[in-house]
Amino acid sequence: MTVTRFAPSPTGRLHVGNLRTALHNWLYARRHGGRFWLRIDDTDAARSTEAFVDAIRQDLDWLGLDREGEVRQSARTALYEARFAALVEQGRVYPCYETPEELELKRKIQLGRGLPPVYDRAALALDAAARAGLEAQGVRPHWRFRLDHDRPIVWDDLIRGPQRFDPARISDPVIRRADGSWLYLLPSVIDDIDLGITHVVRGEDHVSNTAVQVQMFEALGAAPPAFAHEALLVGGEGKLSKRLGSADADHFRAAGIEPVALAAKLARIGTSLPVEPVATLAPLIARFDLAGFGRAPARFDETELARLNAQCLHLMPFEQVADRLPPGMDARGWAAVRPNLDTLADADSWWAVVTGPVACPADPADADYLRRALALIPALDWAGAPWAGLTAALKAETGRTGRALFLPLRRALTGQDHGPDMAALLPLIGPAQAQARLEAALG
């Protein structure tokens, strides 16, 4: 059984990069008939809030990412303590007493000598008496995971291919602060083991975290999940953008972006597959394949997203949007206005063209032409194709063609120079409204 997870910290809103990570883990699970978990990484009690937890759930719901379950790290401390104690017993976790200032000085000295700033493991030289003395002075230790230097860290990344790290060139990572609070690395590994996570899709900025976590899985007697580290998003201008980093789901909702359009964009950028409009997530699931992901940064352009949004709307059936349409708009009305929408909010303005009122005084040069059109209104086949009948009769009588034939009618009947197909609009306007609008145009 394929099992993936999305593990945000509730210390802020999900930005577009987070949404992409969540989507890819969800797509991978659904593509392989598996399960998708939400894990709330709320060990940072000072910064985590329930408002952000709720917002995370709402954003995932908005994107259509259903879950098999949810866990919270704040409710799992007993499990972490037990695994932590076992690692201390094995000698894989050890206490350290340096202050941040002392560690920074060590780093500066190493860098000044042209050496990598790797922790020197000085704390391992302390005997029990030395540790007791420090603690008697009120010094509380932070805790590090002791990496095994005897063999390289290797894994076959599902996007980046074979990975190899020399553990001797990596600092033993701090896993617990002096106040007893947890850092990300070890609880994440414990949770992945406990939840049976088989695949982890995340950003390439986590590659070095994965290197140390591979050894943590092994120290806890578990095989690591398969990892896939994807290239990070860049803005439309081809570089990292603060604006992109702050673009959350509310930003896209306010811009009228449909969740399926955002998903269509995020599912495909940075891959060998084209970004294509879809009406549902099903086509994205069917073709999701990590093998098609590239190593180059994925370019996210909001102008392109806006065009994609319109294309997705043009594919959506009435039933999918019915509860968000203006009052009175039925399937015929949706079919008429849908090809002209950029966002669903545009449906309101086009529906107002149907329901009226509309006022557009006629050009005096077109007055006789519109009077003839007004005379034809009662005789049109309103159950069939009234626009085709009206324009055919006017063309035969006046010899007008093209814009001269169509534009004065469109202006008088809709108040617009362009818009939805008049063949679809005129039956919705109806004979009474059509007659009233032509009379109003003629004054």
> 134-187, pLDDT tens digit by residue?
999 999 999 999 999 999 999 999 999 999 999 999 999 999 999 999 999 999
Mean pLDDT along residues 8-26: 96
Q: According to CATH, what is the number of the domain 3-78+183-234? A: 3.40.50.620
Predicted local confidence at residue 245, as pLDDT: 65
Q: In the predicted model, is pLDDT for residue 425 greater than 70?
A: yes
Answer CATH for 245-312 from 3.30.70.1150, 3.40.640.10, 1.10.1160.10, 3.30.56.10:
1.10.1160.10
Answer CATH for 317-443 from 1.10.1060, 1.10.3470, 2.60.40, 1.10.10:
1.10.10
Q: In the predicted model, is pLDDT for residue 244 greater than 90?
A: no
How do strand 69-72 and strand 226-230 relate by DSSP bridges? unpaired
Predicted local confidence at residue 359, as pLDDT: 84
pLDDT, one tens digit per residue, over 102-139 is 999 999 999 999 989 999 999 999 999 999 999 999 99
Lowest-confidence segment of 229-238, 262-271, 303-312 by average pLDDT: 229-238
Mean pLDDT along residues 51-59: 97
Domain spans of the chain, in order of start? 3-78+183-234, 91-150+158-176, 245-312, 317-443
Q: In the predicted model, is pLDDT for residue 436 greater than 60?
A: yes
Q: In the predicted model, is pLDDT for residue 241 greater than 60?
A: no
- Residue 108 assigned ligand-binding role: no
At 308, the pLDDT band (50, 70, 90 cuts) reads very high
Average pLDDT over the chain reads 95
Domain 91-150+158-176 belongs in CATH node 3.40.1350.10:
no
Predicted local confidence at residue 246, as pLDDT: 73
Share of the chain above pLDDT 70, in %: 98
Name the pTM for this structure: 0.93
At 360, the pLDDT band (50, 70, 90 cuts) reads confident
